[in-house]
Structure 1
Amino acid sequence: MHIPEEDPYPDVTAAGGLAPALRQAAELRGCDTGLESWATDATGIETTRGYLSVHTTIGERIFRLRLHLPEFGWDIGATDDLGTLAEAIAAWREGVPVDALEARFDFLDLEEFTRALEAGEPTASQWADLLSSEYYRGQRNLLRRLHADEVLRNAFPTMTHRAVRLRVDPMYGMSRQVLVHEPDEGRYEVVRVGVPGADWTDVPGDDLIAHLRAALYDDPSS
């Protein structure tokens, strides 16, 4: 006689999925995981320190928490307690310091993540990838010029339609950022991303670095 295996996730099944179950657990704990009411899975939870995702394990009750940054990802903990997991996600979203998170949630292991940040990742690797890419060979001189600046090389670079996008915080997609384009050799156009009414501005080559520094790092009220 076939005996059906016991469901290790009865709360998830009853809720209709992992995301609804996490929302219910968070409500019971009085916290917020950031999962929208329409979400059916628990991937891509946006925070100011990257994206979080939750994954289950077949055959046993384990919720694995993973952190994603551009081109990087870390497994940062696993637990069988959905309520504790919801609290940890909420605390991460609230910006609780890493050492305080590890002290409060003993299932978290953030050592690899913190070592990577201390080593300048993922920004350093992203610069290296772009500078060595044959696909962006046409933008290599511009990339080299930006990377040569001791301030701008700390901004996270990506490419958008052949323009270089520099973002202050690699872990937060909405942090201050600019696009810089070189339509002709030595001629530059810059735009502040996300600023209402902002438009492309011609910037002389001699002023480019100072202009980008100001756009990314100066006090917005100045």
Structure 2
Amino acid sequence: MVRLLKGLRHMNAHGKDLYPDVTASGDLASAMRKEAQLRGCDIGLERWASDVISIQTVRGYLSVATATEKRLFRLSVDIPGFIWEIGETEDLGLLVEAVAAWREGLSLDGLAARFEFMELDTFAGALESGEPTSLQWTGLLSSEFHRKQWALLRRLHADEVLQHMFPTITHGAVRLRVEPMDARSRQVLVTEETGERYEVMRVGVPEAVWTEVPAADLIAYLRTALTEE
């Protein structure tokens, strides 16, 4: 019954199954894993994934979705607050190869040359111009949802070094990351306990713990944590 319901979701208005390969495999993730195995590709798809595809890479999360009006596999890259659609294709095997190449670190120029369905001009331009970081700061500083963090965000953004770090909010803490597209990039978490006391965690270092930092030392401490070897 479950497979039948999934198959019905792949039907178009005329009752034609647009994705017989996906229906036969049971779900989109299984179909992608099968194609990857046939091509000797590593796509890094988690075991629990089924119809929701989100693959972590050093250049954001790759997402795959299917169209409903016609057969199309749509590929997007996500970072907090931004989603770029970077191509769509009817060929699941080609899509799987593109995902593997992306994960392996093939350059954007190399990806565009090898996979004609990929449209990377806007995405590349945003990265080169630093737009993701500046837009993310603007978004957080104007978001009512993050009003509690506004004072801390303004304090951090006022610094000429820290304003170039990519900010996100994680469980109420401000996260600053050096490289916006790299989840493994050097990063810190900052919380404001009072106006004169902060706690900072250097994410990814051995035995990372929260460290109390006085207000007068906060900016220097964060600069050191994010920029010095």
Question: Which TM bucket (shorter chain)?
Answer: 0.7 to 0.9
- Residue of structure 2 equivalent to 1:31: 41
The partner residue of 2:219 within 199, 209, 222 is 209
> Any conservation in 1 of the 2:168–2:174 contact (CA below 8 Å)?
yes
Q: Which residue of 2 aligns with 1:152?
A: 162
Shift in Å at residue 18 of structure 1? 1.1
Q: Which amino acid aligns with 2:140?
A: L
Distance (whole Å) between structure 1 residues aligned to residue 144 and residue 88 of structure 2: 39
Whether the 8 Å CA contact 1:70–1:122 is kept in 2: the answer is: no
**Paired residue for 2:9?**
none
Per the alignment, residue 74 of structure 1 pairs with 84
Partner of residue 131 from structure 1, selected from 136, 141, 145? 141
Match of 1:142 in 2: 152
* 1:180-219 mapped onto 2 (5 Å cutoff): 180-219=190-229
Deviation at 1:136, TM superposition (A): 4.1
Shift in alpha-carbon separation, 1:60–1:163, aligned structure 2, 3 A: closer
CA contact (8 A) 2:166 2:179 kept: yes
Inter-partner Cα distance in structure 1 for 2:91 and 2:178: 35
Q: Within the alignment, does 1:109 sit opposite 2:85 as a pair?
A: no
Measured in 1, the distance between the counterparts of 2:179 and 2:118 equals 23
State which drifts further: 47-56 or 173-182: 173-182
Q: 1:12 — aligned with what?
A: 22
Show the counterpart of 1:56.
Answer: 66
Q: Alpha carbons of 1:27 and 1:217: their partners in 2 closer, same or farther (altered >3 Å)? A: same
More displaced stretch, 24-33 vs 176-185: 176-185
Unaligned runs of 5+ in 2: 1-13
The corresponding residue for 2:104 is 94
Take 2:142 and 2:112, find their aligned partners in 1: how far apart are those partners? 37
Task: Count the aligned residue pairs.
Answer: 216
Instruction: Report the Cα distance in structure 2 between the residues aligned to 1:36 and 1:180, rounded to whole angstroms.
Output: 30
- CA shift, 1:57, in A, is 2.0
Percentage of matched positions with identical amino acids: 61
- Whole-angstrom distance in 1 between the partners of 2:86 and 2:171: 34
Shift of 1:162: 3.9
Question: Which digits, 9 at most, give the CA deviation of each residue in 1:171-190, with x for residues without a partner?
Answer: 23343221222322222222
The residue type paired with residue 130 of structure 1 is L
**Which consecutive unaligned segments of at least 5 residues does structure 1 have?**
none
CA distance in structure 2 between the aligned counterparts of 1:188 and 1:108, rounded to whole angstroms: 44
Query: In structure 2, what residue type is equivalent to 1:149?
Result: D
Distance 1:181 1:39, change over 3 A: closer
User: What is the root-mean-square deviation in Å for CA atoms of aligned residues?
Assistant: 2.0
